[in-house]
Structure 1
Amino acid sequence: MQGVVRFYGLSTRQPEFYPFPRPEGSPAIALRNTSRDRERDQNRDQTRINDRIRVSPIRVIAADGEQLGVLPTEEAMSIAREAGLDLVIVAPGAKPPVCRIMDYGKYKYQQSKKQHKNQSHHTKTKEIRLRPKTGDHDIEFKVKQAIGFLKHKDKVQVCIQFKGREMAHVEEGHRVMAQVIELLAEVGKLESPPKQMGRRIMATVSPKAG
């Protein structure tokens, strides 16, 4: 027996048999419940923002960083609405909790972009070479170069190279190494301490987290 399926005024004839076995209980067409998926995505973000903020009073920071002091939550929300922004808890454990007025959508986008950039970066090890008698000007140049590597999230291997009679003054090499490590301390942390290997003193500095 042949049947006719009508869909928006069009008709197609189905064969008397289904050519392939259909899994038991499977629907002919699976539709995604987009509204339910959207609601689930929203619920994943547990950030206390706007109407989700149930405590009062709160300490408020304006979008430009100005301290607005301790305010009732309703007043803070009114200020945020007038600016077309959101009120977001940034320090829930503080007494009172600290909230900031911001564009939360833009903030989330920037954080996601930053996280993606950090994850996609493959750490490399760069090397800077110095001599025991390297002058302060040249040391500053090499350190500036190393800071650039560290800010790019790469590691830096510091190498002090000895030549000829310079081996008679190993302490000069250690002095230069200590000076370089100290100058890099603001953006890097010592991963491998200085170690003498033949005519070289080697140390590795890795970028600080954040």
Structure 2
Amino acid sequence: MIKNEKIKASEVQLTGLNGEDLGIIATREALAMAKRLKVDLVCTSLMSSPPPCKLIGAGQAKQEALQEKQQARKLEQGPKVKEIRLTPQIEDHDLETKRQQAERILQSGDAVMLVVKISGKEGAKAKELLEMLLRDLSPLGRKRTGIQLSGKQAAVQLDPL
């Protein structure tokens, strides 16, 4: 972010405090206007000629740059995987609560790992339960892998759409 005297162009495309277009102005005049209004002259892009600049309140320019950095970092990290644990003998009300929890997680942009703890011959029942949840959650997410039965648990991961 280039501010005030560091702008080297001879003229700039100036935007006012309220977003109004002030046209192409000599950089010296734009700096004088910024000082008179007690604000900063900030260059938004160096890729065009004349470069577009805005008049922004002193603290606001730093805050905008910080927000852009935070957004970039958030997008860079990608979705988190949150696990929801179930049992094959789950009651209807509890299942509905877990479904709603999974919906909230998917809507917030994170992935959900649905894990059903099994013991003995409950594998078929667990797979059936996961298939039912996948059908219910299909408008919000798609499965990354198939249902995986391994030892004492059955699991499937849903990614947000």
| Interval containing the TM-score (normalised by the shorter chain) | 0.5 to 0.7
How many aligned residue pairs are there? 137
Q: Contact conserved, 2:113 with 2:158, CA < 8 A, in 1?
A: yes
- The match for 1:126 among 60, 82, 94 is 82
SS in structure 1 at match of 2:138:
helix
- The match for 2:13 among 22, 43, 59 is 59
Deviation at 1:91, TM superposition (A): 0.9
Provide the rounded CA distance (Å) in 2 between the counterparts of 1:98 and 1:204.
40
2:104 paired residue number: 144
Q: TM-score w.r.t. structure 1 length?
A: 0.45
Q: TM-score w.r.t. structure 2 length?
A: 0.54
2:23 paired residue number: 70
Provide the rounded CA distance (Å) in 2 between the counterparts of 1:163 and 1:63.
65
Deviation at 1:109, TM superposition (A): 6.0
- The match for 1:195 among 141, 146, 154 is 146
Residue identity in the other structure for 1:159: L
Residue identity in the other structure for 2:140: V
SS in structure 2 at match of 1:195:
coil
Q: Contact conserved, 1:62 with 1:101, CA < 8 A, in 2?
A: yes
Provide the rounded CA distance (Å) in 2 between the counterparts of 1:145 and 1:157.
7
C-alpha change, 1:168 and 1:177, in structure 2 (3 Å) is closer
Residue identity in the other structure for 1:85: V
Residue identity in the other structure for 1:181: G
- Is residue 100 from structure 1 mapped to residue 54 from structure 2 by the alignment? yes
Deviation at 1:204, TM superposition (A): 4.9
Q: Which one scores higher on RCO, CA 8 angstroms, separation ≥ 6?
A: 2
C-alpha change, 1:80 and 1:163, in structure 2 (3 Å) is farther
2:112 paired residue number: 157
Provide the rounded CA distance (Å) in 1 between the counterparts of 2:63 and 2:126.
58
Residue identity in the other structure for 1:81: K
Identity of aligned residues (%): 16
Deviation at 1:144, TM superposition (A): 2.9
List alignment gaps of at least 5 residues for structure 1. Answer: 1-46, 183-191, 206-210
Q: Which structure's CA Rg is the greater one? A: 1
Deviation at 1:55, TM superposition (A): 1.7
